[in-house]
Amino acid sequence: MFRNLKAILTIEAGDPELVQAQLAAFTKQVPLLYFMLVTNTVALTVTHFNAAPAVLTLYIPSVLYAVSLFRLVHWWFSRQRRYTHEEATMRLRSTYRLTALLGAGFCAWSLSLFTYGDAYQQSHVAFYIANTVVGCIFCLMHLRAAALALTAIVLGPFTIFFGTSGNPVFTALALNVALVTVAMVFILLTYYRDFRALIQSQKELTARQAETQRLSDENHRLANLDSLTNLPNRRQFRAELEKRLAAAEDAGTGLALDLIDLDGFKPVNDTFGHGIGDKLLIEVGERLSAFMQQNIFPARLGGDEFGLIFEGNLSPDRLRALGEEICAALHEPYVLSGQTARVSGSLGISILGDAGTTADRLFDRADFALYLAKQNFRGTAVVFSAEHEAEISEQGRIQQALRAADFEQEMYLAFQPLVDTDTHGIFAYEALARWKSPSIGTVPPGIFIRAAERAGIIGKLTEVLMRKALEAAKTWPDHVRLSVNLSTRDVVSNKTVDALLDIIAESGVDPARLDIEVTETAVMRNFALAAENIRRFSERGIGVALDDFGTGHSSLSYVHKLPLTKIKIDRSFIVDIASNELSRSIVKTIVDLSRNIGCVCVVEGMETAEQVAVLRALGCRMMQGYYFARPQRLEDTLAYQAASDAILNASLRKTG
């Protein structure tokens, strides 16, 4: 019980919200409290001025007035101040102590006046104490401890003093005040309980609102932040681009958009696992974040694709140089959990104004520049230019013509022989796509194949060309093979592979006479899916040739994971083969590699007898190029085949 009583008469410093609420409420009541105290005291002093000594009617009241006015001014000028919890607690405790002191002081002073004057003046003393204290208690209702202390210090002595006065009126008054005091205490405790419950309710509501805001902020963060790299995600990047684009246009400043795609990331995932792949992406994010000091805003757009916003008036040359710096940073080795991985980054950059003025336009142009980088300049930065704009327009025209084209009528094939230089016989023909459009004329294959890929109709085109190639193969001797190229999208399209396998099965051509050619780039883009589809061809007895070997970014460790039957050395190694020792070393290495893994090695791009002689000395036997024959129509291959067979037969007769 004593502990509960002590708790009731103590400032509840352990509840910061309650302390602040008590201080705020009491601050509003202070003017009324001291106004009532001073005016009632003045009235009592006036009625006893001629009856009591000056010390009781002048000197002591003056001290009480001074203290009250000082406290009133102090509270008034500090009413707008923000207090810490410790300061607020100290302020309430000082108020509590001062209430007790002032209550005792005013009570003792007023009771000392009782012996002076007549019955009316004595009644005024009783009225003063009861009325003033009741009013003060109401003003102190937010400070339960102070209000109860004042009740005990003033009304306790009051009740005893007047209850034992021997005057029935004063005794009744004392009893009446005692009963009122009990009711007042009950009201005080009830009010304070409700006040504290209200503060607690507000505290809980504030906590729920804070939690709701925290969850909202967290949801906003998660919705706009990539959880793996902690970079902004695609949504945030798009919003940021729109905002900065508007600001750049208003201020007349420059802005550029950069899209980045990692080259060789999927092989890292396949070789080391997704855990290492995730760590690599995290480090890529950190390397890109290091460029933020150059007014660059980085983001992860998804997968192994990242985006950058460049701010400032940067020239195309400066953007290209900055892009190359980023490429160099991304190309540095990644040491992750004891494993060393290498990737590179291809960049496509579009500039506000040169490439367009809207976010969609900048994205589209940066994506086109990125496509060019990945197709032709892997690991470098390409800045979208006016020439690229013309190319887009041309590609758009070509795509429209492709969509309207009759592939059966407009598409045809040219065939280039692959020669066995030991026998001078033809062992295969490579089928090369050709298109002559009635509306736009002849279109180079490098252009319309790319346009068909971007238009999403390459699979349909490949199916038509495969049928035509298989029909041509029926006209050749059975020992002559057919080689057909598959595009990057063909290799990773299950639908296209299904259709091609059905076409081959229905053609009547022995699958063992057929080779499909795929590039390193096509295989490395999605190795797992590409490898699975390549195996499906191999299981049907179809040969698999890896074209343009040495120009991609794949690891040699992947070569043995594919069911290859041929490796074709890219012509870029052949141009200076007669004079470049490094080219000869590379070719020799590839020839030896092919022999070791049981593959036929084919060299492309032969144009001179000197090249043929050098390559034969390096161990190359199978070759292809203008030196032997340019791509021919089907009817020309028949005559060329007949001449080749005649030479071969004559050679055999001499040997025999």
Does 628 fall in a domain?
Answer: no
Residue 651 has pLDDT above 80, yes or no: no
Burial status of residue 343 (CB atoms within 10 A of its CB: 0-12, 13-18, 19 or more) = buried
CATH number at residue 288: 3.30.70.270
Residue pair 415/634 in contact (Cβ under 8 Å)? The answer is yes
One domain, residues 201 and 241:
no
**Structural domain of 83:** 2-207
One domain, residues 116 and 183:
yes
d(CA 304, CA 242): 23
Where is the domain boundary, 384, 416, 447?
A: 384
User: Residues 444, 445, 451, 457: what is their CA dihedral angle, to the nearest 10 degrees?
Assistant: 140
Residue pair 344/524 in contact (Cβ under 8 Å)? The answer is no
One domain, residues 201 and 248:
no
Pairing of strands 566-569, 600-603: parallel
One domain, residues 156 and 248:
no
Does 487 fall in a domain?
Answer: no
One domain, residues 36 and 98:
yes
CA distances from 170 to 44, 66, 117, 125 (A): 18, 31, 16, 11
Residue 122 has pLDDT above 80, yes or no: yes
CA atoms within 13 A on the CB side of 433: 26
Rounded to an integer, the average pLDDT of 447-465 is 90
Q: What is the pLDDT of residues 316-339, one digit of tens each?
A: 889 899 999 999 999 898 888 888
Residue pointed to by tokens 């991304």: 330
One domain, residues 125 and 256:
no
Q: What is the pLDDT of residues 493-526, one digit of tens each?
A: 999 999 999 999 999 999 999 999 998 777 766 7
**b or e along 348-370 (b: 16 or more beta carbons within 10 Å of the residue's beta carbon)?**
bbbbbebbbeebeebbbbbbbbb
Where is the domain boundary, 207, 225, 255?
A: 207
Structure tokens at 293: 């000091």
Eight-state DSSP code of residue 622? E
One domain, residues 193 and 243:
no
Q: What is the pLDDT of residues 11-37, one digit of tens each?
A: 777 778 887 887 777 778 878 887 888
Residue 346 has pLDDT above 80, yes or no: yes
Structure tokens at 422: 């030991």
One domain, residues 190 and 281:
no
Residue pair 90/22 in contact (Cβ under 8 Å)? The answer is no
Residue 553 has pLDDT above 50, yes or no: no
CA distances from 141 to 203, 283, 568 (A): 20, 62, 95
SS3 297: strand
Pairing of strands 481-485, 514-519: parallel
Which of 29-33, 402-406, 464-468: highest mean pLDDT? Answer: 464-468
User: Residues 596, 601, 607, 608: what is their CA dihedral angle, to the nearest 10 degrees?
Assistant: 40
Cross-strand bridge partners of residue 543: 515
**Residues labelled catalytic:** 304
Eight-state DSSP code of residue 478? T
In this predicted structure, what is the pLDDT of residue 280?
92
Residue 648 has pLDDT above 70, yes or no: no
Rounded to an integer, the average pLDDT of 519-540 is 84
Residue pair 522/488 in contact (Cβ under 8 Å)? The answer is yes
Alpha helices in 456-519 (DSSP H): 458-473, 488-491, 494-507
Residue 560 has pLDDT above 50, yes or no: yes
SS3 436: strand
Residue pair 416/632 in contact (Cβ under 8 Å)? The answer is yes
Residue 541 has pLDDT above 90, yes or no: yes
In this predicted structure, what is the pLDDT of residue 655?
55
One domain, residues 8 and 74:
yes
In this predicted structure, what is the pLDDT of residue 602?
92
The mean-pLDDT minimum among 174-188, 209-223, 593-607 falls in: 209-223
Rounded to an integer, the average pLDDT of 607-619 is 91
- Identify which has the larger pLDDT, 601 or 189: 601
One domain, residues 198 and 295:
no
Enumerate residues 6+ apart whose C-beta is below 8 A from 331.
342, 343, 344, 345, 379
User: Where does the pLDDT of residue 85 fall: very low under 50, low under 70, confident under 90, or very high at 90 and above?
Assistant: confident
d(CA 515, CA 428): 9
One domain, residues 144 and 281:
no
Domains identified in the chain, total number: 2
One domain, residues 199 and 64:
yes
Does 238 fall in a domain?
Answer: yes
Where is the domain boundary, 334, 349, 384?
A: 384
Residue 5 has pLDDT above 70, yes or no: no
SS3 224: helix
User: Residues 452, 453, 456, 462: what is their CA dihedral angle, to the nearest 10 degrees?
Assistant: 70
Does 294 fall in a domain?
Answer: yes
Does 96 fall in a domain?
Answer: yes
Does 474 fall in a domain?
Answer: no
Q: Which of 589, 567, 465 is nearest to 519 (CA)?
A: 567
Does 60 fall in a domain?
Answer: yes
CA atoms within 13 A on the CB side of 415: 30
Strand-by-strand arrangement of the 381-383 sheet: 296-302, 305-311, 255-263, 344-351, 381-383
Residue 106 has pLDDT above 60, yes or no: yes
Does 595 fall in a domain?
Answer: no
CA distances from 417 to 120, 428, 566, 634 (A): 136, 6, 15, 11
